């Protein structure tokens, strides 16, 4: 029989707080729960395997570490499925946290999010933090499990060398490469849309296949954003300037990219509004939440970036949508610059090889 560890006790306490069984003997009152958290801060948290390996964790207090423990606990129960802010807030309240402190810990200005311990995605039009989707960052997971801590050996150095060749670590050569990367993201979102209504019959949660495709699409978007940050003048790409000028988020960009490439590659000048809504939906509930994004009062239509085909529709929210020509011209403006040759391409050209 293996010896119980500090992590075992912590996760068992998370079980009790999350479930709060009706059995009076198993219930934990708020004040008592918060006292447990404080006690963990003095006795248990210093024993976590990653604390010493991550010096920056010394700045985390007992409450912040417990919040990360709750997300680890959820990760072990639900895989890669994020935890909605409203549910996470409810768990913190059951653990005795004051409402104002719990809200602040989940907010965008708190150190947990600013310093990268918490990953949060807020749906378009959602209220942050209640509608945000929370996951622990890989660094946060390293606090709790020694297997997540990389050993500095030859194998790790080999992985580091591979990472140097990872496209996510390379800047974009030009705006065309950036746009084609967005095209790849758009294609992943199309595949994701096909699984949005798939549910696990036993748990009534999104299917494993849906979660996988959601994760792939999200990872591609995050990779694109990383590459933009390391690309010299990347923020001056035409689409990047367009996004800042009009205050566009990922859902807006996805609709724009979908319509632009649909027109350029498939000759589709307009799409049914329901197709655009399905494309934005990560789960079936998003169909209900994101309807306003494509509606007449949505940002893209108010700005004239999208327009509805035909004014005789009684329900303008379902009219076919098209991308304005002026918007396409703005987005492609950077691609029309003179090409930048590298030395090998120039030699091939002079030798008649291209």
The Cα 234–Cα 240 span in angstroms is 8
Alpha-carbon distances of 93 from 42, 63, 88, 134, 331, rounded to whole Å: 21, 12, 9, 17, 46
What is the structure's pLDDT at 1? 39
Picking from 66-75, 201-210, 251-260, 336-345, which range would have the lowest pLDDT averaged per residue?
A: 336-345
Q: Is the pLDDT of residue 339 over 50?
A: no
State the chain's mean pLDDT as an integer: 77
| 113-149: pLDDT as tens digits | 878 888 888 887 788 888 889 988 888 888 877 554 4
Average pLDDT over residues 163-182: 78
Question: pLDDT at position 19, please?
Answer: 59
Residue 284's contacts (CB-CB under 8 Å, 6 or more residues apart) are: 196, 197, 199, 206
More confident position, 82 or 343: 82
Q: What percent of the chain has pLDDT over 70?
A: 70
Q: What is the pLDDT of residue 216?
A: 86
- For residue 237, is pLDDT > 90? yes
Residues 272-296, mean pLDDT to the nearest whole number: 88
Q: Residue 179 above 90 pLDDT? A: yes
- For 18, left (φ over 0), alpha (ψ -120 to 50), or beta? alpha
The predicted-structure confidence for 13-43, as pLDDT tens digits, reads as follows: 777 776 553 344 444 455 666 776 766 656 6
What distance lies between CA 293 and its chain's CA centroid?
Answer: 18
Considering the domain delimited by 6-148, tell me its CATH architecture: Orthogonal Bundle (1.10)
Could you tell me which residue, 77 or 66, shows the higher pLDDT? 66
Query: What are the structural domain ranges in the chain?
Result: 6-148, 163-336
**pLDDT value for 44:** 63
More confident call, 348 vs 217: 217
């Amino acid at each position: 029989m293996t010896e119980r560890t500090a992590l075992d006790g912590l996760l068992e306490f998370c079980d009790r707080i999350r479930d709060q069984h009706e059995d009076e003997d198993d219930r934990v009152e708020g004040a008592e729960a918060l006292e447990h958290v404080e006690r963990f801060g003095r006795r248990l948290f210093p024993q976590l395997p990653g604390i010493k390996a991550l010096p920056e964790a010394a700045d985390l207090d007992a409450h912040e570490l417990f919040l990360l423990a709750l997300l680890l606990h959820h990760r072990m129960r639900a895989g890669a499925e994020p935890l909605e802010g409203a549910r996470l807030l409810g768990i913190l309240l059951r653990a005795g946290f004051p409402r104002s402190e719990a809200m602040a810990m989940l907010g965008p200005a708190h150190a947990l999010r600013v310093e990268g311990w918490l990953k949060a995605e807020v749906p378009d039009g959602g209220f942050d933090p209640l509608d945000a989707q929370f996951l622990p960052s890989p660094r946060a997971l390293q606090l709790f499990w020694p297997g997540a801590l990389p050993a500095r050996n030859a194998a790790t150095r080999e992985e580091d060398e591979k990472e140097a060749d990872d496209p996510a670590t390379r800047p974009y050569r030009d705006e065309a490469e950036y746009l084609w990367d967005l095209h790849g993201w758009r294609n992943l979102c199309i595949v994701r849309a096909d699984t949005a209504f798939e549910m696990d019959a036993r748990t009534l949660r999104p299917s494993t296949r849906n979660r996988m495709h959601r994760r792939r699409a999200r990872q591609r978007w995050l990779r694109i954003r990383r590459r933009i940050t390391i690309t010299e003048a990347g923020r001056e790409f035409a689409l990047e300037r367009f996004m800042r000028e009009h205050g566009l988020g990922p859902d807006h960009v996805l609709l724009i990219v979908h319509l632009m490439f649909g027109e350029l590659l498939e000759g589709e000048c307009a799409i049914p509004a329901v197709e655009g809504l399905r494309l934005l939906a990560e789960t079936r509930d998003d169909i209900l939440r994101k309807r306003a994004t494509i509606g007449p009062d949505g940002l893209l239509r108010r700005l004239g970036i999208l327009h509805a085909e035909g004014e005789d529709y009684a329900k303008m929210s379902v009219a076919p949508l098209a991308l304005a020509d002026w918007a396409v011209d703005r987005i492609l403006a950077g691609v029309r610059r003179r090409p930048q040759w590298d030395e090998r391409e120039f030699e091939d050209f002079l030798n008649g090889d291209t």
